[in-house]
Structure formats: structure tokens, C-alpha cells
Structure 1
């Protein structure tokens, strides 16, 4: 009888009016490949954990503290905890810890809880990170030295606590079990927050491309790629008669957009494909570290664009993004005094303006 309850269609928040307001829905995880769903979940989440490790290893090391960074670390920790829990349950099948009995049913239960929690965190993470950059970049408000990390950690903890509390404390309807259902059937939450947020980001990028099309074309025409000391260097030339530093908000935003797409173009294309196909991605996979860093770069670019020409150009300002070298993008818009003060020329840039 116990094996019949492994993956029945039981959702912690099924028929929950509170989560219905989130406009999400559930889709079943079925045994389509001949493997047990528990094994599939272990493999899928293992791949996500490996991807997290790869992203953390590929990012730049000298990055100033920001809210998105703490969100990424916390997400990676929760992913690992979920993997450890379901892998242990899948291996031991039926065991007791501190008086609590765990069976294969809990693999589905834990994954459902995480899926719902992840599904309602997209917008809170986006809004909180946007507020962080608005205060620290646009308004140049900085917390006392040494306290910013505590503030970010407390904020992330509050977001996670609120999300888990919302999911676990929501009223639970009595699930209707159909004896004719497949044993390997587990409803997993699909968040609409990620769909709408992804649509917003992609549409914003395309609108910016259309509006700054002429500036982007000018940048592309002047692009030259060469090598220096076995490093690849991208060179751009000023239009005839232009002076240093370069002026103009349209040129500045076009340079930001070019740098953003130069790094995240494959991810943008992936988002477009998912939107066109209306792909159903469970919440436990939809919220991931690459998505948060993509959102981070978008928010940084927007905050820089809003601040021009009063942007405070310091090393800390440009060290918020572990994947895009924003200071080399903004280099032609800085005067010689600002460049020397930041010691930008002490290292070989990935992008240079000549």
C-alpha cells in the first residue's frame, strides 16, 4: 500500500485560494522515460546544482556585495539542501529521523513545497534588487562600512521566510484522490511570475534595440577584434570629429545595451524560445542562479542609464556585476582625471576605445 502513495496527485497547496492569486498552475510530473520520478528529480536537481557550481566558478572574484549575490548564494544552498533530502529519501526509501518518518512520498511533497516557494520569489527578488540599485547607484546612499552584508543577509532571510510562510500557512484543501491515477504522478507548480517578468525583460531589450538602433549600428561598424599578449581585445573607433569624453545619453545607453547583449545574448535567445513555445518549467527549475545574474545585469544597466551623466564612477560602482565589465563600457564617457583616479589602465581591458 505504501508504494501506491509514492507520487499520487497530492499538492500541499491544491485548491488554495491564496496561491491562485499568483496566477500559477500545476502540471504533473509523469514517468515518461521509464525511470522512477524520484530518480528523475534527483538527476534534474543534480544538474541544477552542478550548473550553480559552474556559474559561481565562472564569475569574477572581486565583486562588491549586493542583494542579488546574496540571493544567488541562498538559492544555491536551498537547491543543495533539496538535492540532499530527496537523494537520501530515494536511497533509503523508508527511514525515521528524530521521530519523523520519511518515505518516497516526501520526495514529491518537498519538491512541491520548493516549487511553490520558488514560484512566488521572482517578483520579490526583482523588486528588492531594483530598490537596492536605486538607493545605492541612482541615489548614492551607502550603509556604514561592514553593515551592508548584514542588511542584505537579513533582507534575503526575510524574503525566504515570508515565501515559505505563505506557502506552508496557506489553507489546504482536501485533495481528491483518483484511484485510477498513475502511481507516478506528482503535480509541480508552474509560476506565471517568471513568464511575465521574462516577457517584460525581453520586450524592454527589444524596445531599447529599436530606439537606439542607429547608435548600435555605428558601434558595430567600428568594431575591430585583435589580439594583444595572447588576449582578445575588442576595439572601437570614435566617429570622425568626435572628442573625448563622448557625450550624449543615447550613445551611453547604446554602449550599455551593447555590453549587456554581448554577454547575455544566448540567454535572451533562450528566453525568447521558451516564451514562444510556452514551455512549462516547474518552479524548482525556473528560479535559478543564471536567471538571477541575468536580472542583476539588466538592473545594473538600467540604473547606470538613469544616473547618467551624474554617475559616480568608482571601482565599487562597476564591481557589482561578476560577468560584465561595465567600466570598460563607460570608459569613453569618462574624462582623463576619472580614469587615472580609478587606475583603469593598470590592467588590460576586454574592451578599449581608440
Structure 2
């Protein structure tokens, strides 16, 4: 789709502003997970890209260390950024899911984990860039001085469809399971001489949907509004936080709890409180 360059610049700066707003609000949580570190890297990348493109657009024609830059290079840079962002949705989603399954965004993150996240994020950006330039069959289209042709990504639609299908299947399973305990607040099982509580799938998904329902409805309505979002805008911090919340919900579905605990990513909050009854049995209370 063709976009006016002034409109494109405005959207890029607006996206950068929203990215930094989310990172600032979530500053206590972004340093705990892979998704958070990727949000920081995305905010930095978008800000740098917005500054470079704005400078080229207003200077129009200038030389930089022997490189002649014109407004045509604005389209080239935007298209390259679109292609790179378009291939990042699945890798980021899968890595976020694995990270939450492994750590579940624990309140304390060691320096080793943070260094691993930084290296992983940098490596992901490098691999995506190398893939676009050396592996993927991409064609860059030059625009004129006023318009630029940008592309959308099918990966975001695929990830959203997979996510919604998973949520639907989990809710359907929790309502139709023959085992009556699976629709209770907690599933009780024994591990050796200890009593373990597994959180109900239904309650976890309710918490996730109660928080992100407006965002999900907006994403579903986009195709019907006959508006197309380019790949550069599709990859944003709100989308990444949404994926992180879903990944945490999936991790909670497979995790047993033996003591009171609160799990949160800054958007969704799952609180698990346990007390001992008269018969020395552990009871659970779920709070949203």
C-alpha cells in the first residue's frame, strides 16, 4: 500500500512515543523477561529509525561520508524495516513462550539471565536482518518524493489466529471435561507426601481475557475496517506485552503451586492464596 511520507513520519514518531510510554510504565517488569528486553530494543530501534528518516526527509539531498542520501532512501529504509519486522513475530512469540515456561517472570532476575536476554535479543535482530538480505526473496520498490510503498506482515495474523484458537480450545476443554475437578478453581493432586494445587485453566484464561478483550476485539475488527497496518507498525510494544501475557497464562496452566504467590506481568495479575483447613487439607483461593 502507498503511504504519504509526512503521514508515515507521523505514524513512526507516534509509534516510538507509545513504545516509550509502555516501557516507562512497565519499567519494573520489562527487565525480568525476554519479552521486556525485546520491548526496550524495539523502542530504541524505532526511535533511531524515526530520527534518521526524519533527517533524510527534511534535508532532502545531502552527502554523509561519501553516501548521497535523498528522499528515495526514506522508502528503502522503511521497506527494509518492514521486512525485518515482518519475520520477527513467530520467533519472538516462541521465545517469549519458552522463557515464561522456564522462568515464569520471577521477581528476581540474575545478571546472568539479563545478559542472556541482551545477547538473545541482539542475535535475533542480527539473524532477522541477515535473513532478509541473504535468504528471503524480497523486492524493494522505490517511491516518489511524496509516497512510499510499505508492506504488511502475515505473521501477526497467524500468531493472533493461533492464540485465539488456543484460548478457545482451552476454554472448551475446561467446560466439557468429564473430570469435574478440572472446572474447579484448583485441581488437587498429590506428589509424594505433599499436596499440590493446579490452577484451573478456565480461571487463568478469564483473567487474561478480562484484561486484553478490548485489544483482541480491535485486532479482529481491523480487517473489517478496510484498513491495512504495515509491518513496521504491527510490531509494537503493546503487541509484545499481549503476547507475553498469553505466554504467562500458558505457563501457569502447566505449573503447580504449593504456597501463596502472585504472578503478574504488569497487565494481568494472578494471585494464589492457600490456607490449611480443619482436616489439614490445603484449600485455594483465586484472585484476579
Which range, TM-score by smaller chain? 0.7 to 0.9
**Cross-structure match for 1:33:** none
1:37-116 alignment runs, 5 A limit: 37-59=4-26, 61=28, 65-116=32-83
With over 3 angstroms needed to count, the CA separation of the structure-2 counterparts of 1:60 and 1:183, relative to structure 1, is closer
Q: What is the CA-CA distance between 1:314 and the residue it aligns to?
A: 7.7
In structure 2, do the counterparts of structure 1 residues 171 and 298 end up closer, same or farther at CA, with 3 Å as the change threshold?
closer
Q: Are positions 1:124 and 2:91 aligned together?
A: yes
What is the CA-CA distance between 1:175 and the residue it aligns to? 7.3
TM normalised by structure 2 equals 0.79
Structure 2: distance between partners of 1:272 and 1:126: 19
| Runs of 4 or more consecutive aligned structure 1 residues displaced over 6 Å after TM superposition | 171-177
Q: Are 2:166 and 1:199 equivalent residues in the alignment?
A: no
Q: 1:41 to 1:277 in 2, by over 3 A?
A: closer
Shift of 1:292: 0.4
Q: 1:128, CA displacement in angstroms?
A: 1.2
Structure 2 partner of 1:145? 110
| Structure 2 counterpart SS, 1:147 | helix
What's the counterpart of residue 324 of structure 1?
Answer: 268
Larger radius of gyration: 1
Task: Tell whether the 8 Å contact from 2:29 to 2:36 is kept in structure 1 after alignment.
Answer: no
Q: Label 1:201 to 1:135 Cα distance change in 2 as closer, same or farther (>3 A).
A: same
Q: 1:303 to 1:312 in 2, by over 3 A?
A: farther
Give the structure with the higher percent strand.
2
Q: How many residues align?
A: 265
Unaligned 5+ runs, structure 1: 1-27, 31-36, 215-241, 337-350
Q: What is the distance in 2 between the residues matched to 1:205 and 1:174? A: 37
Superposed CA offset, 1:1-51 (max 9, x none): xxxxxxxxxxxxxxxxxxxxxxxxxxx314xxxxxx221111011111121
TM-score, normalising length: structure 1: 0.65
What's the Cα RMSD here?
A: 3.4
Are positions 1:162 and 2:127 aligned together? yes
Match in the other structure for 1:346? none
